[in-house]
Structure 1
Amino acid sequence: MTLPSHPARCPVPHGSPIDTDGPRVSLFDPEFAQDPHGAYDRMRARYGSLAPVDLAPDVPATLVIGYHTAVRILNDPEHFPADPRTWQRNIPGECPVLPMLEWRPNALRSTGIEHTRYRQANAASIAAMDLHALHAVVERIALPLINGFCGDGTADLISQYAFPLTFAVLNDMLGCPQDISQQVATGMAAIFDGVNADKGNAMLADALLELTVRKRRDPGDDITSRLIAHEAGLDDVEMVHQLATLYGAGIETQQNLIVHTVLLMLTDERFGGNILGGSLSTRDAVDEVLFTDPPMANYCVTYPRQPILIEDVWLPAHQPVVISMTGCNNDPAVKAREYSDNRSHLSWGVGPHACPARSLAYLVVQDAIDQLLDALPELRLGIPAEQLMWRPGPFHRALVSLPVNFPKSAPLYGY
């Protein structure tokens, strides 16, 4: 349900998102996808820092849109654990958001000793990546993609560049061969879009189990093999869920961050000069997007152990509390005016569940954009920005496509 456009005089206290008398905002509606910032403003005016929402039909939750409230929750795993098992007992298997929220034996959905065990295995396996070698991987993948459309004078930067690049780079980091990666791509798309998500979840699990079996038999210099070899002793089921988390975080978020950043640079005159050698860098644009329009808009989900009073609102036990990174980053109480070298946003998470791969993500995203703009410095948006369409979904912030135009050019570097 979309909130009325007129603000209330003061925030309306509310209790359980299940029992609230007021409207719950449907985060999965196409209307929300087209104007989430307006929806956050209306939620803030009506409810304050904690708003009642629906993640899917009949799946209520509390959305945190206050920055300081979010930081408090994210740093308090004792009262706000990430384990959803009690909640999901009453959720049907075909629920479209269940694959994004259900319990998995991984760091994202665990607490205590198990969280530490999974977190250490993932952090060590990711930290062993050679960042200098990763530069070469991005370039090796980016240039043939650009050559595939540079002679056309037009392209969709999602389907022809951002998605295939981020997917191929992640497959390289994980040591995933092409036959398995195609199943992974199909399964992940179904999970994020909430269309046949249960079937997508099963397809993803089958593919990642096959990857695990192959890497146990023939390890390599990749994240998957390092996870298998880690002293945590991850079994096959645990391996599947570590890999599912890495794919979930690595494809959708990096793809969207590349696209949002290019969109900003093509539509904001402060960055227009950068394509032709201006003063603001790609990293400046990435940092600004992470503040203003991050690729994962609403996530970092927790489930209170018991009813808890936060800012005069009773949050019920075992019901999802979702952090809106976009809403919190744009909270007027803390909204940044300078974005360059400012890391106070919540887009990587905060606390024990903060993203351990941010350095890799920065490198891949920045290199991908620089490769594109170096090759096509006269890149222009193909349609007016207000005509761009956004994919519905409660968690991501994602364009359907990003059409661009540019002068036709010959293939680069002999590819």
Structure 2
Amino acid sequence: MTGVPLYGADFADDPASVYARLRRDHGPVAPVLLDEQVEASLVTSYDAALQLLRSPETFSKDPRRWKAVQDGRIAPDNPVLPMMGHRPNALFTDGAEHARYRSAITDSLGRVDPVELREYVERSSDSLIDSFGPEGKADLRREYALVVPLLVFMEMFGCPPGTAEKLVRGMSGIFEMVDAENANALLFEGMVELVALKRAEPGPDVTSWLMAHPSGLTDEELIHQLTLLMGAGTEPQQNLISNSLRLLLSDDRFAGSLSGGTMPVDDALDEVLWSDPPMANYGVHFPVRDVDLAGVRLREGEPVVVSFAAANTDPALASHRRGGNRAHLAWSAGPHACPAKESARLIAAVAIERLLDRVPDIRLTVPAEQLRWRPGPFHRALAELPVVFPPVHPKDATASGAAYPAPGATPASPRPLPPHPASSEPQPGGKEWPSSPAPTSSTPSAATSTARTTSSAPAARRRWWHSLAVWRRGR
């Protein structure tokens, strides 16, 4: 096989150099390996990616067209299959079938009020900060960026913690291709539990709304829509939060003040979505016939993967301005563009704002270039994000970190999920999420007043969020 590997530590450590080499040696579409047995073509050109994503009549999303699977050249237990194999959901279907699934998803997500969502993210973020704040140190990837999306998923989808733990273990294994077959089975087991619970006890949550939707989803279809939403709302979401925090903590472009009316968190999100998107390579399509794309012949039924990361950093792009520029492909494009991008951006922005408001004097414990990345051909994912800061008192003095247990010893063994921030007992579907238009970007969060120690700030220059915190507290 002649493709360039997109798996292993070497690729994870420096994917940009791999994309540059692919452009140099092969042009806008290059042969790659997603694992030792799975060949694909990778689109590295922005224009070619847009052409593919907007041409569903030529490039199908249905993996049942995958000839290597049809011919038995790829084993049923191949670790790539859970991410690329057929599921009856909105991601892997076309035409009327896709429209039916997508309408159920968009209508159900549309009932989530962004104001309620913001308030829940703020409460969840506060509970997490209360748990690690007094220690003056944390792994923000495992103790914060990983957990916030899970808490949001549990609340929005009416999912109790025990079931959610199965879901996250399964989903993590699929993304990292670690024992992917068993991970897929664990994910399915958790989804069956969730669907059974909601059939017996429907509530004001996205799962129940999907069940009641006029599209009439079967239990199997429901499980696969939920799997899609879980996959899109947890792993990529934690990567967006982690990658943005890494940028804010290490890049001097984001260390200035709020002068000129700029929005540093929004700018950091834009920069990450352009240069380090949480799903770096995905958007898998299958040509319905032999076809040329950007001068490269693609064969019917052979997978074509869109490199959102490479396309976004295509040297042919005329503009290099990132802040405020939403023309990136991190959310994909065309009929399969992410239906929840505004909610995803809101969750990330609020989680980051809340952290930097309450813990303004925060810094990495190692240089940014020494941070480790988790291997995998699809995501751009930090392994850890260790930081130190002057200890921060809990907002509620009774919390003092007891609500959230310590993380597990290794990334492959996630800690047990924490209880609902507002109670020691899970409350699936306990909050109404009234319908309201989603915002186009994050809205300024309300001012907070948080008790802090009198410890002096680190010797390093204070960054913009320190000034923001002082301004918000009226000091």
TM-score by length of 1: 0.92
Structure 1 residue 202 corresponds to structure 2 residue 221: no
Distance in 1, Cα, partners of 2:216 & 2:358: 45
Once the two structures are TM-superposed, the CA of residue 185 in structure 1 deviates from its matched residue by: 1.1
Once the two structures are TM-superposed, the CA of residue 278 in structure 1 deviates from its matched residue by: 8.7
Distance in 1, Cα, partners of 2:260 & 2:207: 39
The equivalent of 1:109 in structure 2 is: 92
Structure 1 residue 37 corresponds to structure 2 residue 16: yes
Distance in 2, Cα, partners of 1:108 & 1:353: 7
Structure 1 residue 321 corresponds to structure 2 residue 321: no
The equivalent of 1:56 in structure 2 is: 35
Structure 1 residue 100 corresponds to structure 2 residue 83: yes
The equivalent of 1:339 in structure 2 is: 322
The equivalent of 1:121 in structure 2 is: 104
Q: Structure 1 segments of 4 or more deviating over 2 A? A: 88-91, 273-281, 412-415
> Secondary structure of the residue that 1:214 maps to in structure 2?
helix
Q: Return the match for 1:373 from 329, 337, 356.
A: 356
> Secondary structure of the residue that 1:61 maps to in structure 2?
strand
How do residues 15-414 of structure 1 correspond to structure 2 at under 5 angstroms?
Answer: 23-87=2-66, 88-89=69-70, 90=72, 91-273=74-256, 279-334=262-317, 336-414=319-397
Give the residue type in structure 2 aligned to 1:48: G
Distance in 2, Cα, partners of 1:161 & 1:180: 20
Gap runs ≥5 in structure 1: 1-17
Distance verdict in 2 for CA 1:394–1:275, change over 3 Å: farther
Distance verdict in 2 for CA 1:303–1:169, change over 3 Å: same
Once the two structures are TM-superposed, the CA of residue 315 in structure 1 deviates from its matched residue by: 0.6
Structure 1 stretch displaced more, 160-169 or 322-331: 160-169
Distance in 2, Cα, partners of 1:361 & 1:276: 27
Distance in 1, Cα, partners of 2:318 & 2:376: 25
Once the two structures are TM-superposed, the CA of residue 410 in structure 1 deviates from its matched residue by: 1.6
Distance in 1, Cα, partners of 2:306 & 2:87: 19
Give the residue type in structure 2 aligned to 1:206: E
Give the residue type in structure 2 aligned to 1:246: L
Distance verdict in 2 for CA 1:206–1:275, change over 3 Å: farther
Show CA shifts across 1:382-403 (max 9, x none). Answer: 1011111111100000011011
Once the two structures are TM-superposed, the CA of residue 170 in structure 1 deviates from its matched residue by: 1.3
Show CA shifts across 1:149-190 (max 9, x none). Answer: 111111100111110111111111111111211110111111
Give the residue type in structure 1 aligned to 2:10: E
Give the residue type in structure 2 aligned to 1:115: H
Show CA shifts across 1:33-66 (max 9, x none). Answer: 1000111111111111001000011100000000
> Do 1:275 and 1:378's aligned partners in 2 also have CA atoms closer than 8 Å?
no
Once the two structures are TM-superposed, the CA of residue 216 in structure 1 deviates from its matched residue by: 1.6
Distance in 1, Cα, partners of 2:64 & 2:257: 48
Identical positions, percent: 46
Show CA shifts across 1:52-107 (max 9, x none). Answer: 00001110000000000000000001110000113233221210110000101011
Distance in 2, Cα, partners of 1:70 & 1:190: 28
Distance in 1, Cα, partners of 2:341 & 2:379: 17
Distance in 2, Cα, partners of 1:102 & 1:162: 28
Once the two structures are TM-superposed, the CA of residue 222 in structure 1 deviates from its matched residue by: 1.1
Distance in 2, Cα, partners of 1:275 & 1:172: 33
Once the two structures are TM-superposed, the CA of residue 210 in structure 1 deviates from its matched residue by: 1.5
Once the two structures are TM-superposed, the CA of residue 251 in structure 1 deviates from its matched residue by: 0.5
> Do 1:272 and 1:278's aligned partners in 2 also have CA atoms closer than 8 Å?
no
Once the two structures are TM-superposed, the CA of residue 113 in structure 1 deviates from its matched residue by: 0.9
Give the residue type in structure 2 aligned to 1:201: N
Distance verdict in 2 for CA 1:97–1:151, change over 3 Å: same
Once the two structures are TM-superposed, the CA of residue 220 in structure 1 deviates from its matched residue by: 1.1
Distance in 2, Cα, partners of 1:249 & 1:68: 24
Once the two structures are TM-superposed, the CA of residue 273 in structure 1 deviates from its matched residue by: 3.1
Distance verdict in 2 for CA 1:276–1:379, change over 3 Å: farther
> Secondary structure of the residue that 1:56 maps to in structure 2?
coil
Once the two structures are TM-superposed, the CA of residue 340 in structure 1 deviates from its matched residue by: 2.0
Show CA shifts across 1:360-382 (max 9, x none). Answer: 10110000001100011011011
Give the residue type in structure 2 aligned to 1:336: S
> Secondary structure of the residue that 2:339 maps to in structure 1?
coil
Distance verdict in 2 for CA 1:125–1:360, change over 3 Å: same
Once the two structures are TM-superposed, the CA of residue 209 in structure 1 deviates from its matched residue by: 1.4
Give the residue type in structure 2 aligned to 1:204: L
Distance verdict in 2 for CA 1:384–1:335, change over 3 Å: farther
Distance verdict in 2 for CA 1:241–1:228, change over 3 Å: same
> Do 1:291 and 1:347's aligned partners in 2 also have CA atoms closer than 8 Å?
yes
RMSD: 1.5
Structure 1 stretch displaced more, 287-296 or 308-317: 308-317
